[in-house]
Copies of this chain bind each other. A is one copy, B any other.
Amino acid sequence: MPSIEALRIFVEAAVHGSFSEAARRLHKSQSTVSASIANLEIDLGVALFDRHARLPVLTGAGQHLLANAEQVLTAQDRLLRAAAGLASGYEPRLSIALSDTYQPDRLEALQAEFDARYPEIELECLIAECADLLALIESGRAQLGFVERQPDYPPGLAYAPAAEPSAMDVYVSRRHPLAQRSHVELAQLDDYRALRLTTVQQQTPQRPRGHSWSAPSYLMLMEMAQGGFGWAELPCWLVERYGAESLQRLPLAGWPRLVTVDVVWSRDRPPGPAGVWLQTRMTGP
């Protein structure tokens, strides 16, 4: 069972083609390098270097095993790097809970930036809306959430408005009766089925609004609207990107409206440095 140090010595000697050079670079004595490689050859049962020349040259087997040894070292290097990050307080993974109100193109740019800055940290994205999302944050399952601004937040949750607001509008299928009208009043909406967001959490039992249908994500709501089952309030970007051809906005007064997206986190379980970076990156300029 070869030790990591022996592999490092082997690689250094192979790369520089000299035991003495490797000893100098690794700040070890030449005898250590020599003995270490000799032991490694015994352990592996293969001659790594051809020592007939003045300087040792890799054998064919040595060349082949060099690649494997380097893989071991790079894997170990990643381990140490990750440990160093964790030791200095960085979280091993960051879970963010997303509402569909947040545009994915902005999110992708953000993810790319995050990956460049924190390549070691796992990033997990969860999809949830409203109370479900807040529950993810409260339970610690996610550290950061992006939600449409709520009328009130549970205690222990902190929030800050994200930099850019999001546009919402009311849509119906092109085949829906409302789609033909050139003028629609808000009161008329009650005559048709509403498609509303629901949540798995039902701590605050919502007043059941007539014969409405509901789903836990805007994407499912949009698919219901595309089916012609009713009208729904949806993020404009979602419709423009995935449902433009089969949906139509309603000409309501005051719509589309701009919705503030809040960044939410738990005060008890605050996000780590990477989460803080992501949060300030969202709320800042």
A87:B1 contact, CB within 8 angstroms: no
Residue numbers in B under 8 Å from A123 (CB-CB): none
A-B contact pairs, 28 of them (CB 8 A): A1-B5, A2-B4, A2-B76, A2-B79, A3-B4, A4-B4, A44-B80, A44-B86, A44-B87, A45-B83, A45-B86, A46-B86, A61-B86, A61-B92, A63-B92, A64-B86, A64-B93, A64-B122, A65-B82, A65-B83, A65-B86, A65-B92, A71-B75, A71-B79, A72-B72, A72-B76, A72-B79, A74-B75
Rounded to whole angstroms, the CA-CA distance of A3 and B46 in the bound complex is 22
Residue tally, chain A, CB below 8 Å to B:
33
Closest B residue to A6 by beta carbon equals B4
Residue numbers in B under 8 Å from A84 (CB-CB): 45
Rounded to whole angstroms, the CA-CA distance of A83 and B83 in the bound complex is 30
**What are the 6 tightest A-B residue pairs by CB atom distance, in nearest-first order?**
A45-B87, A64-B92, A44-B83, A68-B79, A72-B75, A61-B86
Task: Tell me how far the C-beta of A8 lies from the nearest C-beta in chain B, rounded to whole angstroms.
Answer: 9
Residue numbers in B under 8 Å from A267 (CB-CB): none
Beta-carbon contacts under 8 Å, A28-70 to B? 44-46, 60-61, 63-65, 68-69
Would you call A78 an interface residue if the criterion is a C-beta within 8 Å of the partner chain's C-beta atoms? yes
Would you call A91 an interface residue if the criterion is a C-beta within 8 Å of the partner chain's C-beta atoms? yes
Task: Tell me how far the C-beta of A1 lies from the nearest C-beta in chain B, rounded to whole angstroms.
Answer: 7
B86:A79 contact, CB within 8 angstroms: no
Residue numbers in B under 8 Å from A82 (CB-CB): 64-65, 68
Rounded to whole angstroms, the CA-CA distance of A213 and B37 in the bound complex is 55
Rounded to whole angstroms, the CA-CA distance of A262 and B83 in the bound complex is 57
Rounded to whole angstroms, the CA-CA distance of A32 and B20 in the bound complex is 36
Closest B residue to A62 by beta carbon equals B92
Rounded to whole angstroms, the CA-CA distance of A69 and B78 in the bound complex is 9
